[in-house]
Amino acid sequence: MPIRKIPLRLSLPLRSEWGRAGDSHLRLSTVIAIAFSFQLMMNITRPLVTLYAISLGANAVGIGAITAAYALFPLLFAIPIGKAADAIGDRAPVRIGVAGMMAGTALPFLFPEIWSLYASQALIGVSHIFISISLQNLIGNMSNSQNRDHHFGLFSMAVALSGIAGPILGGLLADFGSYGFAFGIAAVTGLVPMAFSVLLPHLRRERKQEEDAGTKGSALELLRIPPLRKALASSALVLYSRDVYVAYFPLFASEWGMSASTIGWIIGVQGLTMVLVRLFLARLTERFGREPILWASIVLAGVAFLLVPLTQNTLLCGLLSALMGAGLGCGQPLSMTTTYNASPKHRTGEVLGLRMASNRLSQMLAPLFFGMVGAWSGIIAIFYVSGAFLIGGAFLTTSSARKRQAASVNDT
């Protein structure tokens, strides 16, 4: 009598592998350390891209195109990279991503020309996808329904902490050295996540031989899942607005004489607030619910955007950056958990890739659009239009969720 193979759930091989590797808290710490260090590489340079491009002669439209280059190739390759992570495991994609990010940050240091910024942002964007999908997949699969929110919160806190240290360090390196020197230091920093990647398990996930009904098909068919659509929309709103602020606030502030280090401190304040708000996120969602917290956070960020052009005071700019960070700090961890929970268990990498693709679509289109807005109407108009988009998007996603709830009640 032939022996029938019993398909294993996706999470079982991962948990057993991590259990053999050692204490689970140490394994979680490894993922958090990689997340912080690779994001630090990127955050050292991201606020400097605009200033470096200006020094090389770029205008507002050119800056928008450079910023969009970060999102173009990830938009095309995020879903295939997610499928690859499901098939070959997570350690190899992390190493590929770190190596690519080191090369991307080294380019403007080695070649101080405008083309190197385009190439750098494109390479960093693709590399970021390799690392982020794999780390988020590890976090999701090593967690359960009771601690997944907490683990994703720790992951997003590490990312936010890098958002504090990176811009400050990048601004100081640029002021006391040069823009190219800051990119070179960021490239060397990549040795840290590369070293930690050795501790990641080498896994190949086994797909269920009998897939659940309704989970077959292309990645775009996953958009039929309502909670997943809402999570993708919320994540895209949060990410594009963060990128628009990082790209255009330095340009706005430098016009009235703010130094690169001061700009770095103000953007770092936003990262600090994102960390602080995530310390209380679990309590906030438990008390008020996910939907109200997500709606309020996006609206708060939108209001902060609208107020940015109204002041040239450094302290007030820091306060508005903090308010924006409080709003944006809630959206990402909530959308990560919702995305993972709504995913078919054997396609989590693919769904995370779909989330990355939707994020990058917004990150590619938004800089191009806002670059044209800035060229036609001035830099100030960028903040007004972006704030209006955030507030409008918050109301649209909330109203669509209420319609689905009403329809489900009527069906019953």
On the question of pLDDT at 98 being above 50, the answer is yes
pLDDT band at 138 (very low <50, low <70, confident <90, very high): confident
On the question of pLDDT at 327 being above 70, the answer is yes
In a domain, 288, yes or no: yes
On the question of pLDDT at 155 being above 60, the answer is yes
In a domain, 5, yes or no: no
Rounded mean pLDDT of 133-159?
79
- Number of helices and strands (H, E) in the chain? 15, 0
In a domain, 211, yes or no: no
The pLDDT of residue 22 is: 45
On the question of pLDDT at 99 being above 90, the answer is yes
pLDDT in tens, 347-373: 777 777 788 777 778 767 777 788 788
Q: Are 123 and 186 in contact (CB under 8 A)?
A: no
The pLDDT of residue 211 is: 45
pLDDT band at 1 (very low <50, low <70, confident <90, very high): very low
Higher pLDDT, 346 or 328: 328
The pLDDT of residue 83 is: 79
Residue written as tokens 């269920």?
Answer: 208
Three-state DSSP at 343 gives coil
Count of structural domains within the chain? 1
On the question of pLDDT at 190 being above 80, the answer is yes
Q: Which of 69-73, 265-269, 328-332 has the highest mean pLDDT?
A: 265-269
The pLDDT of residue 14 is: 42
> What would you measure as the largest C-alpha separation in the chain, in angstroms?
81
In a domain, 396, yes or no: yes
The pLDDT of residue 318 is: 92
The pLDDT of residue 204 is: 54
DSSP type of residue 10:
T
The pLDDT of residue 399 is: 54
Higher pLDDT, 224 or 57: 57
Higher pLDDT, 20 or 328: 328
In a domain, 276, yes or no: yes
On the question of pLDDT at 11 being above 50, the answer is no
Q: Are 82 and 349 in contact (CB under 8 A)?
A: yes
Nearest to 82 by CA among 135, 133, 126: 133
Mean residue pLDDT across the chain: 79
Q: Are 313 and 294 in contact (CB under 8 A)?
A: no
Query: Which of 50-54, 275-279, 338-342, 407-411 shows the lowest per-residue confidence on average (mean pLDDT)?
Result: 407-411
Report the alpha-carbon angle 296-396-231, nearest 5. 70
Q: How far apart are alpha carbons 296 and 328 in whole angstroms?
A: 10
Higher pLDDT, 172 or 18: 172
SS (H, E, C) 287-300: HHCHHHHHHHHHHH
Q: How far apart are alpha carbons 27 and 9 in whole angstroms?
A: 21
Higher pLDDT, 232 or 42: 42
On the question of pLDDT at 130 being above 70, the answer is yes
Nearest to 380 by CA among 304, 300, 270, 306: 306
Higher pLDDT, 189 or 67: 189
pLDDT in tens, 256-278: 888 888 888 898 888 788 888 88
How many other C-beta atoms lie within 10 A of the C-beta of residue 289? Answer: 11
pLDDT in tens, 107-121: 999 999 999 999 999
On the question of pLDDT at 408 being above 50, the answer is no
Residue written as tokens 């706005």?
Answer: 252
Residue written as tokens 């955007």?
Answer: 305
Residue 233 sits in a domain whose CATH number is: 1.20.1250.20
Looking at the chain, the whole-number percentage of residues with pLDDT higher than 70 is 83
Looking at the chain, the whole-number percentage of residues with pLDDT higher than 90 is 22
This prediction has a pTM of: 0.69
Query: Which of 98-112, 279-293, 379-393 shows the lowest per-residue confidence on average (mean pLDDT)?
Result: 279-293
In a domain, 2, yes or no: no
The pLDDT of residue 398 is: 63
On the question of pLDDT at 212 being above 60, the answer is no
Q: Are 6 and 107 in contact (CB under 8 A)?
A: no
Classify the C-alpha dihedral 329-330-334-335 as positive or negative.
negative
Query: Which of 177-191, 237-251, 353-367 shows the lowest per-residue confidence on average (mean pLDDT)?
Result: 353-367
pLDDT band at 203 (very low <50, low <70, confident <90, very high): low
Q: Are 203 and 17 in contact (CB under 8 A)?
A: yes
In a domain, 215, yes or no: no
Query: Which of 116-125, 151-160, 307-316, 332-341 shows the lowest per-residue confidence on average (mean pLDDT)?
Result: 332-341
Q: How far apart are alpha carbons 253 and 263 in whole angstroms?
A: 7
What angle, rounded to 10 degrees, do the helices at 24-55 and 11-21 form?
100
In a domain, 219, yes or no: no
The pLDDT of residue 111 is: 93
Domain that holds residue 375: 11-205+227-407
On the question of pLDDT at 410 being above 60, the answer is no
Beta strands in 231-349 (DSSP E): none
On the question of pLDDT at 8 being above 50, the answer is no
